[in-house]
Amino acid sequence: MESLVNRYLRAAVVFASCAILSSCAGLNHPTGTIEQKFAATGVWAVTASPGGACCDSLGNAFDLYYPTNLGANGFKHPILTWGNGTNGAPGDYATFLRHMAS
């Protein structure tokens, strides 16, 4: 059976890790001049539907980012697909995907 000291030590490590991680800026928070330029929003308002467009033929959920007034005034918006291949979480790319949709 695990000792009480080990339980408290493990709880302290988890608590400290959570405190450190919550104080960090988001993984996709633009800080440099170039990054801020490409994180700026465009002329179109964006609707985001993270995980709300369920599901593909295999049952996988996906996120949609698109201009809110899609096709307004006959404008033909391009389609962009993004497939993350780095094991990152989809939320890590929300700034980029909003930028592209705007």
Q: Which residue segment(s) compose the domain that 55 sits in?
A: 30-101
Domain assignment present for 87: yes
The per-residue pLDDT for range 11-25, each reduced to its tens digit, is 555 555 544 544 444
Residue 42 has pLDDT above 60, yes or no: yes
Q: Establish if 54 belongs to a structural domain.
A: yes
Residue 17 lies in a domain: no
Count of domains observed in the chain = 1
Q: What percent of the chain has pLDDT over 90?
A: 5
User: How many other β-carbons are positioned within 10 Å of the β-carbon of residue 65?
Assistant: 20
Strand partners, 62: 53
Dihedrals phi, psi of 61, to nearest 5 degrees:
-80, 160
Tell me what pLDDT residue 45 has: 92
In a domain, 14, yes or no: no
Any domain includes 55: yes
Whether residue 38 has pLDDT greater than 70: yes
